[in-house]
């Protein structure tokens, strides 16, 4: 089984830096090779019985769609796990909290001028759902490790949201719990290609006036919470794959 693990920013997968308390994901893998492709570096590695392709895409929907498609089509990944940070929309989500996407949508997709709802284009869908099996694995990991994991709607757009009004609009329009800039584009790619995927985010900010102020301070810590959880999921996926042989 070949598994794609991706983030948007280097801090989210951190394959190169080992800075004190921050632990690069690659440290946990047996590494084979680095491959340059389409302007990104893909780290080919192994975790127990799983083959891993690890990369960060750069920020935003276009770069993340390119990376996800490359991981599936060029590197042949059969499953994709996304790890990263997000702004909280639901007031119950606090910095560091983990949220697994139960649905994803694009809040900046707008052809409402033609009478369509926000987030919709003909032949597309407003919401895309991740793999139920992977959500179930995440739930089990959270229970076993005593980690609180929330589920909710993640809204994606090519904007860093640091504005209470825009945040409220997204919350109302899409019933969103968290906002970020890559989840829904990765979801579109995986859904179209029929590959199971999972998007996990740790909250880095409240998407309000203080968002940029909070951001760098919490980026590393929240990224690490998210990637540690992904590692625990990988452990379970490995056991299941070994068991099914
Ligand atoms: N610090 C970076 C910019 C970060 S952009 C720089 O200076 O280059 C924000 C990133 O974190 C995106 O990848 C996005 O997915 C996520 N994110 C976290 N909080 C967000 C918010 N409030 N709005 C949109 N994206 C957010």
Check residue 21 and give its pLDDT.
Answer: 53
Residue 202 tokens, joined = 């740790």
- In the reported structure, the alpha carbon of residue 137 is separated from the centroid of ligand 1 by a whole-number distance in angstroms of 27
Is residue 180 within 6 Å of ligand 1 at its C-beta?
yes
* 184 vs 241, more confident: 184
Tens-place pLDDT, residues 185-212: 999 999 999 999 999 999 999 999 888 8
Tens-place pLDDT, residues 101-159: 999 999 999 999 999 999 999 999 999 999 999 999 999 999 999 999 999 999 999 99
- In the reported structure, the alpha carbon of residue 160 is separated from the centroid of ligand 1 by a whole-number distance in angstroms of 5
CA distance 164 to 192: 33
Q: What is the CATH number of the domain that holds 210?
A: 3.40.50.1580
Tens-place pLDDT, residues 36-84: 999 999 999 999 999 999 999 999 999 999 999 999 999 999 999 999 9
Q: Confidence class of residue 173 from pLDDT cuts 50, 70 and 90?
A: very high
Q: Confidence class of residue 215 from pLDDT cuts 50, 70 and 90?
A: confident
Is residue 93 within 6 Å of ligand 1 at its C-beta?
no
CA distance 203 to 226: 9
Q: Domain range for residue 13?
A: 2-243
Residue 101 tokens, joined = 């996407």
Q: Confidence class of residue 241 from pLDDT cuts 50, 70 and 90?
A: confident
Query: By alpha-carbon position, which residue is closest to atom 20 of ligand 1?
Result: 87
Residue 196 tokens, joined = 């199971």
Q: Domain tally for the chain?
A: 1
How large is the average pLDDT for residues 22-43? 85
- In the reported structure, the alpha carbon of residue 46 is separated from the centroid of ligand 1 by a whole-number distance in angstroms of 29
Whether 12 is catalytic: yes
pLDDT at 183 over 50: yes
Query: By alpha-carbon position, which residue is closest to atom 25 of ligand 1?
Result: 180
pLDDT at 162 over 70: yes
- Ligand 1 atom closest to the Cα of residue 206 is 22
pLDDT at 18 over 50: no
Is residue 87 within 6 Å of ligand 1 at its C-beta?
yes
Is residue 9 within 6 Å of ligand 1 at its C-beta?
yes
Whether 129 is catalytic: no
pLDDT at 24 over 90: no
- In the reported structure, the alpha carbon of residue 200 is separated from the centroid of ligand 1 by a whole-number distance in angstroms of 14
pLDDT at 19 over 70: no
3-state secondary structure the chain: CEEEEEECCHHHHCCCCCCCCCCCHHHHCEEEEEEEECCEEEEEEEECCEEEEEEECCCCHHHHHHHHHHHHHHCCCCEEEEEEEEEECCCCCCCCCEEEEEEEEECCCCCHHHCCCCCCCCCCCCCECCCHHHHHHHHHHHHHHCCCEEEEEEEECCCCCCCHHHHHHHHHHHCCCEEECCHHHHHHHHHHHCCCEEEEEEEEECCCCCHHHHHHHHHHHHHHHHHHHHHHHHHHHHHHHHHCC
Catalytic residue among 11, 97, 177, 205: 205
Of 81, 82, 92, give the one whose Cα is nearest residue 203: 92
CA distance 98 to 222: 8
Rounded to the nearest 10 degrees, the angle between the axes of helix 183-193 and helix 61-69 is 30
Is residue 59 within 6 Å of ligand 1 at its C-beta?
yes
- Ligand 1 atom closest to the Cα of residue 59 is 13
Q: Confidence class of residue 243 from pLDDT cuts 50, 70 and 90?
A: confident
């Amino acid at each position: 089984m070949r598994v794609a693990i991706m983030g948007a920013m280097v801090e989210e997968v951190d394959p190169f830096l080992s800075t004190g308390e921050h632990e690069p994901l690659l440290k946990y893998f047996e590494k084979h090779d680095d491959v340059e492709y389409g302007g990104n570096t893909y780290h080919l590695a192994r975790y127990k019985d799983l083959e891993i392709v690890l990369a960060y895409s750069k920020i935003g929907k276009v770069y993340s769609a390119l990376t996800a498609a490359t991981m599936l089509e060029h590197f042949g990944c059969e499953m994709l796990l996304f790890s990263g940070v997000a702004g909280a929309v639901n007031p119950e989500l606090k910095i560091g909290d983990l949220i697994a996407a139960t649905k994803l949508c694009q809040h900046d997709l707008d052809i409402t001028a033609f009478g369509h709802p926000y987030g919709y284009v003909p032949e597309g869908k407003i919401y895309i759902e991740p793999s139920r099996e992977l959500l179930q694995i995440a739930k089990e990991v959270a229970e076993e490790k005593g980690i609180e994991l929330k589920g909710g709607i993640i809204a994606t757009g090519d904007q860093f949201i640091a504005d209470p009004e825009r945040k409220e609009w997204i919350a109302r329009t899409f019933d969103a719990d968290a906002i970020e800039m890559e989840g829904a584009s990765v979801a579109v790619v995986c859904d179209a290609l029929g590959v199971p995927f999972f998007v996990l985010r740790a909250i880095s900010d409240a998407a309000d006036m203080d968002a940029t102020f909070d951001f760098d301070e919490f980026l590393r810590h929240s990224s690490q919470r998210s990637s540690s959880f992904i590692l625990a999921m990988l452990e379970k996926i490995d056991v299941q794959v070994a068991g099914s042989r």
